[in-house]
Structure 1
Amino acid sequence: FLPIFLWESKKSPKVILADISKGSLQKSIDNVNLQNFSQDILSQSFDFRLGNGIQVLENGEVDVVVMAGMGGILMTEILSADLIKTKSIKSFILQPRNGQGKLRWWLLQNGFQIKEEKLVREGKFICEVIHAEPVAWDCGLIKLSMDEDWEQKKQSEDIEYEIPESILISNGALAVEFAERKLKIEFDILENIKKAVFLDEEKREQTESRILYLKNLISKYGERGEQ
């Protein structure tokens, strides 16, 4: 539906709809066909491609890539598969369902700038949307997967990547609610740590540090977010 909207609103004169799943790609084809566009419009403006991530694209073929409905780690794997191709694209709109902190860490370690972040309510969920652009060509590729080394894992799980201050600056009351939800999760984790038979001091200290960070953010932006 997003590519259809982008074309109809004249934001994108041509859109490429891609998916690794044949069934999901067929849904895109069906949705476009339901719009009753002319054959000229269909042939010139809508391109359907079956494949994995941006592998279906040529270098520099598109200005903007949107990735949504998948995890942050999977996004890093797609982006790192061919970094030259990835950096030939001007802009990325990323909406990770999980692993948001790991995605931000990877972007900043691999020569990308996070230009803007938005929070959007979807039912009971608050979704994160990240606008990122490549800014450097000569950095070494750092991959992030389920098998990343311990030091990278610790860095990528830093609370400042999960909830950067920039989110609170630009998203008002919704961001405060978002941070408060995260804070409740951390308090629950801390309670479970304290109830454990063997107290994990390192985990307790880490969780208390995360709680302090979130409380400071909420205190700093709470009043501003209510305006």
Structure 2
Amino acid sequence: MKLSDRLQTIADLIEQGETVADVGTDHGFLPIYLWESKKSPRVILADISKGSLQKARDNVYRQDYSPEVLKEHFDFRLGDGIQVLADGEVDTVVLAGMGGLLMCDILAQDMEKTRSVKTFIFQPRNNPGKLRWWLLHNGFVIKEEKLVREGRYICEIICAQVSVDSGGADKQPRNGEGQLDSLSDDQRLEAKKEAEHIKYEISESILMTNGSLAREFAEKKLKKEKDILIQMKKAAIINQERLIQTEERVNYLENLLKNAKDRGI
């Protein structure tokens, strides 16, 4: 099974011999590759869509595996997120191609189950910053981050694990915005602002470990923020708070790129 660069990058982050659940599997190519390459002895293909799961099943059956292989190594499950899994059933869960806020909600739905998984690999389609914020405020450590080009997009892939000292993390899970349900309105607003800080969208570590692609990624973000700033300054009515926030985003990205250049990146 030949994978796209995006899926290959995800596959490369999975350790040899780990059992894997591909949640939101869609076509099922990643689990097929993981078993065929002998990287994973058992794979679970899960999707909330009956049609998508059937598509994955059809692709697996097209490989002409023996009935014994299908029974022992492939498992198809229809359901919502990681609710289809038993606690600690797999080593790694892959969540790819869905929104970052949806990923947070999937994890927050059952934190005991979430914390029973050794490794999560995320490839968010949007809101990666809010996903990072949620992870860091719910007892996770981000082990590795990769950038990969897919068509005209640069995709972000995040590998995270539950911290060994996550006992100090919030016992009550935060929702997709990263806010505790018990917070006051002011605290919710403050949490929302913090989750939207650009340092969660692109960190120095991403720039230091992803070479020229990371510079391109940061430069595109900087151009977008500068364009927004120009349009804001031309507006008849200027929202000063948003203007200051955008200026801070521009300054952050400029400093990030300067520091990377100073380090020869």
Indicate which of 157, 172, 193 corresponds to 2:196: 157
Shift of 1:183: 0.5
What do the CA deviations read for 1:29-75 (whole angstroms, capped 9, x no partner)? Answer: 01101111111100100000000010000000000000001000000
Alpha-carbon separation, structure 1, partners of 2:196 and 2:34 = 34
State yes or no: 1:62 paired with 2:93: no
Counterpart position of 1:73: 101
Counterpart position of 1:145: 176
Contact 2:178–2:195 (CA under 8 A) maintained in structure 1: no
Counterpart position of 1:221: 260
Residue 210 of structure 2 aligns to a residue in which SS? helix
The two structures, once aligned, show a CA RMSD in angstroms of: 1.4
**CA distance 1:172–1:133, change in 2 (3 Å):** same
Amino acid at match of 1:144: N
Amino acid at match of 1:24: S
Q: Where has structure 1 moved over 4 Å in runs of 4 or more? A: none
Indicate which of 55, 58, 73 corresponds to 1:27: 55
| TM-score of the pair, normalised by structure 2 | 0.82
**CA distance 1:216–1:21, change in 2 (3 Å):** same
Q: For structure 2, which runs of at least 5 residues remain unmatched after alignment? A: 1-28, 180-187
Residue 66 of structure 1 aligns to a residue in which SS? strand
What do the CA deviations read for 1:145-177 (whole angstroms, capped 9, x no partner)? Answer: 369521111010001001011100100000000
Alpha-carbon separation, structure 2, partners of 1:222 and 1:33 = 50
Q: For structure 1, which runs of at least 5 residues remain unmatched after alignment? A: none
Number of aligned residue pairs: give it. 225
State yes or no: 1:171 paired with 2:210: yes
**CA distance 1:155–1:50, change in 2 (3 Å):** same
Indicate which of 232, 236, 248 corresponds to 1:209: 248
**CA distance 1:49–1:159, change in 2 (3 Å):** same
Residue 97 of structure 2 aligns to a residue in which SS? strand
**CA distance 1:100–1:147, change in 2 (3 Å):** closer
Percent identity between matched residues is: 59
Residue 126 of structure 2 aligns to a residue in which SS? coil
Alpha-carbon separation, structure 2, partners of 1:121 and 1:176 = 13
Indicate which of 126, 149, 158 corresponds to 1:121: 149
Amino acid at match of 1:76: C
**CA distance 1:98–1:83, change in 2 (3 Å):** same
State yes or no: 1:134 paired with 2:173: no
Alpha-carbon separation, structure 1, partners of 2:224 and 2:98 = 22
